[in-house]
Structure 1
Amino acid sequence: MNELSRARTLAAGVMAALLVGAPVGAQDATVDLTGIWWQGAPVPLLPGESEPPAMGMGGMGMGIMGSPPALNDHAQTLMANFDPADDPAVRCEQPGLVRQVLSPYPVEIEYRGDTVSIRYEEWEVERLVQLDTPPPDGHETSPMGHSMGELDQEKLLVRTTGFSPGLNMSQGFFWTGEGASLLETYSLTERGQLVMDMELTDPVMLSEPWRLQKIWNPFDQELLTFDCILRERL
């Protein structure tokens, strides 16, 4: 288990709603997703609303909606004997791209010319998305892979390849196989919420692509430092 420098309450509850508008475009003719986002922050109000509508927490926890991954026979056999003590996070090792993207902690997005920076509070990871740039030939695999982006008036499209196998955790553990790819589409709702539609394609572990949607609300605080406490395996 990991401990953060300051705990955040993720349980659903009654939270005071703040009037927060959609971000103002930082670049002409492109959607502006800059800012800090967290699904535990208050849901923005629309004009004329005194409180936000009730929103379900989704099938996998606050802010995430979708079905469990369709593990193929190979994956089911592999995970049948999985010991949670073998989770890389237990050893204070960042567990991989997909689990990072679905982290329940805040995320910060910043535009830097032809690059989009995505910083995650959990594990203090910064991810650089190269806009309109093809992946380099023969690039080596890494925990976060190589991300290429396309930005237009309505969305940011991110395609990631070359990420090394990682341990995902959503209604059960499963490993990402070699040669997997991830497609993320980011957009804004009329409330000014950040939405990500995710599709993981993994021919080694999945019988069909795994699709999820995750929603964050605008958050008016800074990212915190992340402290992992290494624990001895029992």
Structure 2
Amino acid sequence: MKRLTILAATAAAFVMTGASAPVMAQGSEAADTIDGHPNLNGIWQAVNQANWNLEPHSAGPNPVADGLVGAIGAIPPGLGVVEGGEIPYKPEALERLKKNKENMISHDPEAACYLPGIPRATYMPYPFQIIQGGGDDILMVYEYANANRVIHMGPVGVPPIDTWMGTSYGEWDGDTLVVTTLALSPGDVKLPGGELEPGVTWLDRAGNYLTNTASVVEKFTLNGENHIDYEATIDDPSVYTRPWKIKMPLYRRVEENAQLLEFRCVPFSEHLLYGDLLEGESGSEAAE
């Protein structure tokens, strides 16, 4: 409990102050193990196109300003990170997927600066930091939107409430950190224009998603000094016909001044979320 309190306080400090997270145990100075387990401390980042689309995909135009800004913001092609290449949706789940794709910007939680959930936080195009000390729990802090989560090291429990980032439980399986995350859900989400929609966790910008009945089991396996073999198995009986898996390497940021910087995206989302109110305000002021 004491360790949990310290980790939570550390995460809160990053969020409230916007301070750059310090580099911990980077590079060759890091101890090989902590309490007999591999030392995962450091700043890591995925280098792929998974946040655009987990499945294999071709390049595409900017989804907001097709043709108006040239190649700026165009969708890069990707080989995909889904084992087998395709997410096994149930036929009835494809309707929500279609709706997501048709409303790629206005419905994507990333556009609104909502917390990304798991596993998406891991492969967004921003670094994240693993803080692993002696004791019970591990902290992961993400540059995007000051997101963070505590990995509760111990048996998988029953989360008290659904949240954007879910509740994560961890254990060591040999040299692999295995993390089970449950209760991923934002609840009802207010869409631009004021419409309420049952929230789902988007897995990428293409609209792939999971619901609050999902379980996500991640595995972090250190592979040499500067790589982690990462995989996540996603099971959601309400959406998929079977569990499915994504796999990718994570790379250590090895530059001397590696650190997490501020990416507070709320100001960037105000017009998307509250544009109608802001325009109304502007009109009222003009009338006065």
TM-score, reference length from structure 1 = 0.74
Give yes or no for contact 1:159–1:181 (8 Å, CA) kept in 2: yes
1:21 CA drift (Å)? 5.1
Give yes or no for contact 1:39–1:63 (8 Å, CA) kept in 2: no
Matched, 1:122 2:144: yes
Report which stretch shifted further, 156-165 or 223-232: 223-232
Show structure 2 runs of 5+ residues with no match: 1-26, 48-54, 58-76, 186-199, 276-288
Query: Which of these residues, 222, 229, 240, is aligned with residue 188 of structure 1?
Result: 222
User: What is the aligned partner in structure 2 of residue 161 from structure 1?
Assistant: 182
Distance 1:62 1:227, change over 3 A: farther
User: What is the aligned partner in structure 1 of residue 263 from structure 2?
Assistant: 226
1:167 CA drift (Å)? 1.5
User: What is the aligned partner in structure 1 of residue 3 from structure 2?
Assistant: none
Distance 1:63 1:186, change over 3 A: farther
Query: Equivalent pairs: percent with the same residue?
Result: 22
Give yes or no for contact 1:98–1:166 (8 Å, CA) kept in 2: no
Matched, 1:132 2:154: yes
Give yes or no for contact 2:119–2:232 (8 Å, CA) kept in 1: no
How many Å separate the matches in 1 of 2:217 and 2:44?
A: 20
Counterpart amino acid of residue 204 in structure 2: M
How many Å separate the matches in 2 of 1:121 and 1:63?
A: 25
How many Å separate the matches in 1 of 2:116 and 2:251?
A: 25
Larger Rg: 2
How many Å separate the matches in 2 of 1:63 and 1:129?
A: 30
Report which stretch shifted further, 201-210 or 77-86: 77-86
How many Å separate the matches in 1 of 2:81 and 2:111?
A: 26
Provide the alpha-carbon RMSD of the alignment.
2.8
1:29 CA drift (Å)? 1.9
How many Å separate the matches in 2 of 1:59 and 1:22?
A: 38
TM-score, reference length from structure 2 = 0.61
Show structure 1 runs of 5+ residues with no match: 1-19, 41-57
User: What is the aligned partner in structure 2 of residue 65 from structure 1?
Assistant: 81
User: What is the aligned partner in structure 2 of residue 101 from structure 1?
Assistant: 122
User: What is the aligned partner in structure 1 of residue 240 from structure 2?
Assistant: 206
How many Å separate the matches in 2 of 1:91 and 1:193?
A: 31
How many Å separate the matches in 2 of 1:116 and 1:63?
A: 31
Counterpart amino acid of residue 232 in structure 1: H
1:149 CA drift (Å)? 0.5
How many Å separate the matches in 2 of 1:166 and 1:117?
A: 21
How many Å separate the matches in 1 of 2:40 and 2:78?
A: 21
**Residues 149-194 of structure 1, C-alpha deviation per residue, up to 9 Å, x if partnerless?**
1125411010111111311216x21231231000001011135311
Distance 1:227 1:186, change over 3 A: same
> Which one scores higher on RCO, CA 8 angstroms, separation ≥ 6?
1
How many Å separate the matches in 2 of 1:23 and 1:194?
A: 15
1:62 CA drift (Å)? 7.5
User: What is the aligned partner in structure 1 of residue 17 from structure 2?
Assistant: none
Distance 1:100 1:121, change over 3 A: same
Distance 1:204 1:102, change over 3 A: farther
Higher helix proportion, which one?
Answer: 2
How many Å separate the matches in 1 of 2:98 and 2:204?
A: 14
Give the SS at the match of 1:232: helix
Corresponding pairs, count: 197
Distance 1:23 1:155, change over 3 A: farther
Report which stretch shifted further, 214-223 or 85-94: 85-94
Query: Which of these residues, 32, 35, 43, is aligned with residue 25 of structure 1?
Result: 32
Counterpart amino acid of residue 146 in structure 2: E
Query: Which of these residues, 201, 217, 221, is aligned with residue 251 of structure 2?
Result: 217
User: What is the aligned partner in structure 1 of residue 42 from structure 2?
Assistant: 35
Give yes or no for contact 2:221–2:229 (8 Å, CA) kept in 1: yes
1:115 CA drift (Å)? 0.5
1:214 CA drift (Å)? 2.0
How many Å separate the matches in 2 of 1:95 and 1:226?
A: 13
Counterpart amino acid of residue 208 in structure 2: F
